[in-house]
Structure 1
Amino acid sequence: MFSDGNVAQEDRRVQGYAGSQSTVKHAQRRMGLIVRRLYGNVIKHVRTGENLVVFAPPYARGGNWLYEWAYAYENGLENNRSVRVCYIEGMDSWLEEFPQLQALTIRKKDIPLRDQRAPGFFQDIENRTMLSSFVHNVLVDSPSFNERLQKFKGLDANDLVINVRRGDYYSNAVIRKNFGIDTVGYIKKAAREAFDHHQYRQIFVVSDNLEWCKENLGFLQEFAPTDFSKHGSSMFDDLAFLASASALILTNTTFGYWGAYIAEALRTVTVYAPNMHERLTSGRPKIMQHRGGWTKVAPENSQNWLVEHDM
């Protein structure tokens, strides 16, 4: 559960994303872009240093931030320079869980004047040549996260783990329009495809809303005994549980994707994911957040799983 401070922080994030999608906000952003370009033409003659600071979108959170940190790690090593992500409110728990991320992060007040700046959104994962290195040396290297992984060593190739994203994908109308999918229909189809491939002994569901999953995904018991219980007390336990799996069904969430990236760096993994990520990029043949070996699950009678109402 969120503390009162984190609830307010999450509300600001959701409102920020929803506001950024409105017509007025788009117009304001276009005007702001013009001003920033004029300012940029002047400041670029000052910001000529070798080092780089990446600015993640203000409404981004955990899974999104990991893409920026992974880019900073890779780009810094490849170009022998300092590349850091500008700190955003809410990063503290991630920096505590994964201490190596602290060297890849900088507070805005501490950014040297001459450092170059770049807007974040480095989610094209197939172009991350050091993804496995980042996972091992930054994420799995964490004593805390490694301890979590040890708790779930009992998972094996006969266990199927399903990650279901709910939260603001469905509670906020604007976000739901871009990310909401027919979760029930998708999980049914993905489970059928998974069990056609392998007869799994047990299913585990990992979600930010397990009560919804219990109420709506009971049909999974027809495939195999299904566990809807919470394993651990933290979102990092959820991430470690996903990272401990050898077979995963993911919904369209970067948190789940990172669970799969970590798992793939540790062992051979079978991954099923929807044939889209969001409405804004639906229809594109390549989903930048998906790995090449993942199975893209498509619906029977429509282009993708997107819906504008709660499913």
Structure 2
Amino acid sequence: MYKTFRPLIYKLTPEQAHHTTIWMLQMAGWFSPATALVRAMYRARKNGPSVECMGLNFPNPVGMAAGYDKDGLGWRGLAALGFGHIEVGTITPKAQPGNPKPRVFRLVEDEGVINRMGFPNNGADFLAGKIKHARGNGFILGVNIGKNKITPNESAIDDYLLLTRKFAPLADYLAINVSSPNTPGLRELQSRKALQDLLQPLSAEIATAGHAIGRKVPMVVKLAPDMTDEELDGALDVIMSCGMDGVIISNTTTQRPQLRSSLANETGGLSGRPLKDLNTAMVRKVVTRTAGKLPVIASGGIIEPQDAQEKIDAGASLVQVYTGLIYTGPELVRDILNYGLK
């Protein structure tokens, strides 16, 4: 069905299409007949398989990656599509507009997207208001947190601490974004010392928050796919020594592997099918280097069900989709679950 309407959707700019689908998900979530219709159209034939990961019970392995629903507007509609977890954000303490437009580009020939959004969002208070009743609705809720563009790296910890305090009571888990290529200098926080200086106080803060609310709130770190082996080893050492609960592999890439689209040289992070092999290799590398002791959420290049199985085979516990929805449609979640991940 989606493929029938896809040419019309592609007549909109990528951001227009995005805002339209968010609005549709809002409507689907607010009106119970619409919610029931979405469930009937897109729910998988069978539930699960459920996944025990990071002390949480995920109803199925398929999640909505951060970046789609930055402000927590469409979580009800996304839940109706059958996602096992939904990661909202990336959110920053203060609202910010992001980078100048145009900043999102469809690479249709490559089934990819280049974006240089720069964390546009309505700020932490806005998101908190939107998701205050989201937990406990049949899916796991993650909140992806980042620093404001105007915050220097030396003060980044203040932004992350503020967001940890604010969202620990509202989320099932928190994701630390230090890997977007579209906020100047952000990836420098992945270096061993910078990451240590960030994660040590965050680890203490999330433990304090968990004690206060009476439940553990897992914390994961989202890494870039463009790290050298030495950089990755350093980051993993810090992540494990600081007691983080997992990693998301990965953010978008700045590499441009044999792209056919005329938009291939646009600045920004590349996602979709061109990221798939790089992402899977990184998943396998992380699983090997941590001896399988660190849960991995694989996010990158899942366009069809077999791609999701490939991530699981590489050692991922969970998968996330985003760009695949642009090319396959909302039925991607159903198709992955009906495929039967093993």
Q: TM-score, normalised by structure 1?
A: 0.29
Q: By percentage of residues, which structure has more helix?
A: 1
Q: Which has more radius of gyration?
A: 1
Q: What is the TM-score normalised by the length of structure 2?
A: 0.27
